[in-house]
Every structure is written in structure tokens, then in C-alpha cells.
Amino acid sequence: MSNLLDTMIAHSKLSKKQTDKQQKLVETAIKIFAEKGFANTSTSEIAQTAGVSEGAIFRHYGNKENLLLSIVLPFLKEFLPNAIEETFNELLSQNPTTFEIFIRELIKNRVHFIHENKKLFQILVKEILYREEFKKEMQPLYSENILQHLTIVIEMFKERGDLIEIPSSILLRMLLTFLGGYLISRFMVLNEDFIKDEEAELEEVVRFIMDGLRKPQQSH
């Protein structure tokens, strides 16, 4: 599932609760949100492109924010758990012998995924940061899926003596704080051409992480 836009549109078409007019409205909103960003999209533009009245949006959803939530939340709740499990299963099926190998492949995987879904990633991050309602809806998905899978991986590599001996919850927060900040700065703050060499960038990121998390080798 690399392109969320196409997947969300396909998902919305399967809904039996929507009229043809609502279906067209949702499909149009997804496309314009992804192309222009949520803040730069008006309800009048969505309505005009979908061939419905602006009043139809207010009648069905109340406002633009509720329209977004009605599209994104059901989709994420249905698809996110399986998508995350598939990602971790794929990475672990390669039998990484060290946490460094695992984290390198995880970062490559997520960078590629966000490249494919940059506009939607930016929308989701902004909504999580600035809308309490959206954050509350996303927290269970985050903790029950991403945190759960990463904790299992961290415990596995700690048992192998690959990571420093601190509580896994602290190690997890350290890792996610850095990775979350890195991905947000890269895809929401920096210019597209800021990174000249993807491979070199990846290696520096992995080195930075491992310098903090790798268990020191005991000297004899």
C-alpha cells in the first residue's frame, strides 16, 4: 500500500452508506486535499469540482474539518493496523542480525512511503499537532500498533545484547522522538533539494541512532 490517495479513493467507493453525490464529494475532496493541502482547499472549490452545492458539504459534514475526519479516520482505523503489521513482518522476514540492519531498512521503508504520500503526511501531522479531537482518535492506533511492534523488536535485540540496558519504554521514546522529528523536518520543513545524497544521509541517520542505542563493547 504505497499510494494512500488511490487506496483511500478505492476504499470510499466500497462504502454502502454514501449516496452517489456523497461518493463524488469524498473522492474530489481527497484529490484536492492531497494536491493542494488541507489549509489551501476551500469548501467552495471542493463543491464546484464535485458538481454539488457548497450547502451539501455543510449539510452532510458541517465543515471542512469534519469532512476530512470523516474520510481519514475510518480509513486509517481499518487499514493502518494491517499495513503496520505487514511492514514489520516484511522487515523481520529478512532476518536482520542486528538492530542497525533493522533500523536502516525501517527508515528506508518509511522515507519511501512518505515520498509517495507527502501531501497526505503533511495533512495528518498538522491535524495531530493542532486538533485535539484528531489526536485523541489517533493515539490508540499509534500505541496499539506502532508502539507495540517496535517494543517487540527492541526487546528482541536487547535480549541479543545489541542495545543499551535501559528500560525499553525509555529507549522507545528516544528512538521515536528522533525519527519523528527527522521525518517531520525532512518532509515538512526542508526544501526538496536539501538532501543531495540519499544513501549518505541514511547512513548518517543510522550512525546517529546507533551511537546512542548500541550497547558498548566490553573491553578485555
User: Mean pLDDT, to the nearest integer, of 9-38?
Assistant: 75
Q: What is the pLDDT of residues 71-106, one digit of tens each?
A: 778 888 888 888 899 999 999 999 999 999 999 999
115 vs 93, more confident? 93
Per-residue CA distances from 37 to 28, 80, 119, 126, 151 (Å): 13, 21, 6, 10, 33
Instruction: Quickly name the fold that domain 4-213 has.
Output: Tetracycline Repressor; domain 2 (1.10.357)
Q: Residue 44 above 70 pLDDT?
A: yes
What residue spans define the domains of the chain? 4-213
So what's the pLDDT on residue 220? Answer: 46
Q: What is the pLDDT of residues 48-64, one digit of tens each?
A: 998 888 888 888 888 88
Q: What is the pLDDT of residues 141-171, one digit of tens each?
A: 888 889 999 999 999 999 999 999 999 999 9
CB-neighbour burial class of residue 120 (10 A; exposed 0-12, middle 13-18, buried 19+): buried
So what's the pLDDT on residue 14? Answer: 64
